[in-house]
């Protein structure tokens, strides 16, 4: 099995940042407010320098998101399962490392996931993490894998007011068929998108080209050059 790594991290990172800005400024709700004549009734938003954003995972995409946000003026901290591996990046960017996801959730206005889905990371955000979200006014972003987040726990958190909203590009069902998931996706506190974070012309062209090269290298008898997925990882694809 071959794959095409390194093709869409910039695309996913840019989409993630767009979702963050959209949520904290409530842009997605302005249309209906204007149409209903409520344009003068809205909550005063924080400025970017007042917002602390937590990044879960410091792989290629997580680092890209963190770097863009730092350049934009946001305060950024992160959690990673491999802190020593990212020492140089953390020193260069002055990003604060937090020891647990639970602590990250309690400190940050926005939490964004950028880790691989494995047995250890499945449902890393559940009831316990959602219940401690900062001042019950935080946001969640998931442009990674749906299995990282307990979506039923998110439904509870929204109902109880533990979080203010979420932006979700990945879903337990794609396309969504269950009534409860459709209801969640239509919640005004949710920005729902159909797994499109990595879909830009540049990213798709890169992936198609690398896919072609992988096939050519394997047919030519030099599979060691191709990018391959280890067999033990296939069940998570």
Task: Select which of 122, 145, 152, 233 is catalytic.
Answer: 145
145 is catalytic: yes
Give the per-residue SS3 of the chain.
CECCCCCCHHHHHHHHHHHHHHHHHCHHHHHHHHHCCCCCCCCCCCCHHHCEEEEECCCHHHHHHHHHHHHHCCEEEEECCCHHHHHHHHHHHCCEECCCHHHHHHHCCEEEECCCCCCCCCCCECHHHHHCCHHHCEEEEECCCHHHECHHHHHHHHHHCCEEEEEECCCCCCCCCCHHHHHHHCCCCEEECCCCCCCCHHHHHHHHHHHHHHHHHHHCCCHHHCCECCHHHHHHC
β-bridge partners, 78: 55, 97
- Angle at 231 (CA atoms; ends 225, 235), nearest 5 degrees: 130
Task: Select which of 195, 232, 233, 235 is catalytic.
Answer: 195
195 is catalytic: yes
174 is catalytic: yes
* Environment class of 205 (CB within 10 Å of its CB; exposed 0-12, middle 13-18, buried 19+): exposed
Task: Select which of 174, 199, 232, 235 is catalytic.
Answer: 174
Catalytic residue IDs: 145, 174, 195
């Amino acid at each position: 099995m071959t794959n095409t790594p390194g093709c869409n991290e910039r695309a996913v990172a840019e989409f993630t940042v767009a979702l963050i800005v959209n949520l904290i400024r409530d842009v997605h709700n302005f249309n209906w407010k204007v149409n209903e004549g409520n344009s003068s009734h809205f909550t005063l938003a924080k400025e970017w320098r007042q917002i602390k954003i937590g990044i879960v995972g410091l792989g290629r995409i997580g680092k890209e998101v963190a770097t863009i946000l730092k350049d934009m003026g946001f305060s950024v901290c992160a959690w990673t399962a491999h802190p020593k591996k990212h020492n140089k990046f953390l020193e260069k960017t002055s990003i604060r490392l937090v020891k647990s996801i639970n602590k990250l959730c309690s400190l940050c206005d926005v939490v964004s996931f950028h880790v691989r889905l494995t047995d250890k990371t499945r449902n890393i955000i559940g009831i316990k993490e959602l219940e401690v979200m900062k001042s019950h006014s935080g946001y969640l972003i998931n442009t990674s894998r749906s299995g990282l987040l307990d979506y039923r726990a998110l439904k509870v958190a929204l109902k109880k007011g533990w979080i203010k909203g979420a932006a979700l590009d990945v879903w337990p069902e794609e396309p969504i068929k269950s009534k409860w998931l459709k209801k969640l996706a239509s919640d005004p506190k949710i920005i729902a998108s159909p797994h499109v974070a990595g879909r830009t012309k540049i990213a798709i062209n890169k992936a198609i080209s690398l896919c072609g090269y992988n096939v050519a290298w394997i047919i030519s008898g030099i599979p060691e050059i191709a990018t391959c997925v280890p067999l033990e990882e296939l069940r998570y694809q």
